[in-house]
Amino acid sequence: MSAAKQKTLKGVGASPGIAIGRALVVSKSPVRVPYRPVGGGDETEREVERFQKALNAARDDLNKAKAELGPDLADYAYIIEAHLGILGDKMISQRGEDLIRSQGINAEWALGLAEAEAKSIFENVKDDYIRSRSTDVEYVAGQVLKHLAGNNGIELSTIREKVVVVAHDLSPAETTQMDLSWVMGFVTDMGGPTSHTAIMAQAKAVPAVLGLERVSQEVKSGDFVIVDGSAGAVIVNPDEETLHDYRDQQEAYELYAQEILAQAHLPTNTTDGRRLEVGANIELAEELGTALTYGAEGVGLFRTEFLYVSQRTLPTEEELFVNFKTVAQRLGGRPVNIRTLDIGGDKFASSVELAPEINPALGLRAIRYCLKEQALFRTQLRAILRASAYGKVRVMFPLISGVGELLQARAVLEQVKQGLAEQGQAYDPKLEVGIMIEVPSAVAVADLLAQHADFFSIGTNDLIQYSLAIDRVNEYVAHLYQPLHPAVLRMIRQVVDAGHAGGIPVAMCGEMAGDARAVPLLLGLGLDSLSMNPLAIPRVKQVLRLASAQEWGRLAKNALGFATAAEVSRFMETELGSRFSTVLAARVPLPAQTG
């Protein structure tokens, strides 16, 4: 196709599909931040005024972008609202002004320092989704910096040819400026599978590869590129053979995507009549639209952490209630499992402070933190209970390690119920209470826990990490993170057996639940429902509809007999290949999610 040599760049596949066309590089790199001391007095006040004008200009840009959202993107207004919230929060606006005054520095440098402090709050959080929200701070600071520097970049609304947009980063405000009918794909240096660029790309079914680090420097406008959003690859100046191969893949993917989405809302019944519920993992109420589009039958995991780490003040009961109520109402009787806070106090953007811990993963977090800070816990429980009057709401306690913790949590819940009843507040008196099975001790006493819980949900991300003593972000041991490890499979089976013996259903909401290659085995192990990133739902449902529960029950027994993860993996490849070769050969991504 081109005289230039073909080059392949690897990033993160953030939105599935294949785009083929010419690149348009809309930004080369972030604006450089200069350092300049200011002399105090009037000079300081002029610098503060510059800073405030840039904040106001950035706010005007965001409000304009929000007003220009079309009806097909109306559900994603929350992304811009989140940026407006960060812009107005003290962590940027007030902190920047304070730094100008206290350190005698220019607005650009003060903004950079405030940005770094705010980002650190998010980046220290264990949850992948919340950690990725540090990019929101970058977006907001970048918009302010452009106005300080007098550089507003390319006018994206003028794009009038089919292009692949290449950028250092793209904010939702920038994305809304484009007529996406002209955009075949997104490629950026920054971002990941849960970034807002990814969310917007998924909403509009635009293939996207993010996190390429230097793609905006390595690609020139006019270069011919292939964007493989399923494999996370960008091929620059492909040769004829590669181009021909990808055109075939593009046609096959588009046909497959149409077929699988058309079937996404069918019930998930196996060939022998077993019914599994397939739900979505979400972080914000506004994500529910995408989840329902992709066939979610409920929300198996509604994380509540984002509201606590995204603002300087703790969310009020009313703020939490509105979020929970919105989801409950939109689900129309389908279930939503609301997980209580699953981080430690050291991760809040708010004023809550705790002493630093040597190993936070083994410290005061999740249910342990909530039982210590009961005022915060009660506020959250009140909001959940009030929302239960508007739909099928269930509460789920994370990181339960034994019966004692569960009984303590339930006692607090009963006290909150009594308080609401005395105030005449409506709630579901039969609210179901579930627990996350995430630590080996919970597996060991699952039979005892089942006597005090209405359902279990296995969080495989933490369960695998704690059971195999693996830190997934440690490059030296990450390869040992093995969902098919015999110990992990046996623990899943033990929890399922204990739950069923106790008369309660057992779900899974960790990353493993969204892996279509693992799903038949999970069916065989006896799980009752699965919850995952919305994009994974259609293929998981398709695999389940083609599977026999009885057959995979026998195969699961065989898998439990192997000694190593490698043996289980080889066994699964053989069995999957003979039953689901067409479905699993389709190059559709299985995005990571947390549980």
Q: Which residues are designated catalytic? A: 196, 509
- Do the beta carbons of residue 226 and residue 10 sit within 8 Å? no
Helix (H/G/I), strand (E/B), else coil: 280? strand
Radius of gyration of the chain (CA): 25
Could you tell me which of 556, 507, 516 has the C-alpha nearest to residue 536? 516
Residue type (1 letter), 220 = K
Tell me 155's DSSP state: -
Q: What does the DSSP 8-state code read for residue 78?
A: H
Give the integer Cα–Cα distance in Å for 539 and 589.
Answer: 10
Nearest partner of 342 among 381, 308, 382, 392, judged by Cα: 308
User: φ and ψ at 157, to 5 degrees?
Assistant: -70, -10
With CA atoms as reference, report the closest residue to 27 among 224, 217, 176, 212.
217
Q: How far apart are CA 229 and CA 187, in angstroms?
A: 9
Edge-to-edge strand list for the sheet holding 224-228: 7-10, 233-236, 224-228, 18-25, 163-167, 183-188, 208-210, 12-15
Closest CA to 18 of 144, 155, 207, 201: 207
Backbone φ and ψ of 87, nearest 5°: -60, -35
- What is the residue-wise DSSP string for 106-130? -HHHHHHHHHHHHHHHHHT-S-HHH
Nearest Cα residue to 461 out of 544, 406, 375, 398: 398
Structure tokens at 275: 């019914």
Question: What are the tokens at 147?
Answer: 């106005």
Inter-residue contact 201 to 591 (CB < 8 Å): no
Contact, 189 vs 215, CB < 8 A? yes
Residues in the chain: 595
Task: Please name the amino acid found at residue 203.
Answer: A
Continuous segment of H or E residues that includes residue 436: strand 432-437
Of the candidates 5, 22, 26, the residue with the CA atom closest to the CA atom of residue 223: 22
Residues 557/568, Cβ–Cβ less than 8 Å:
no
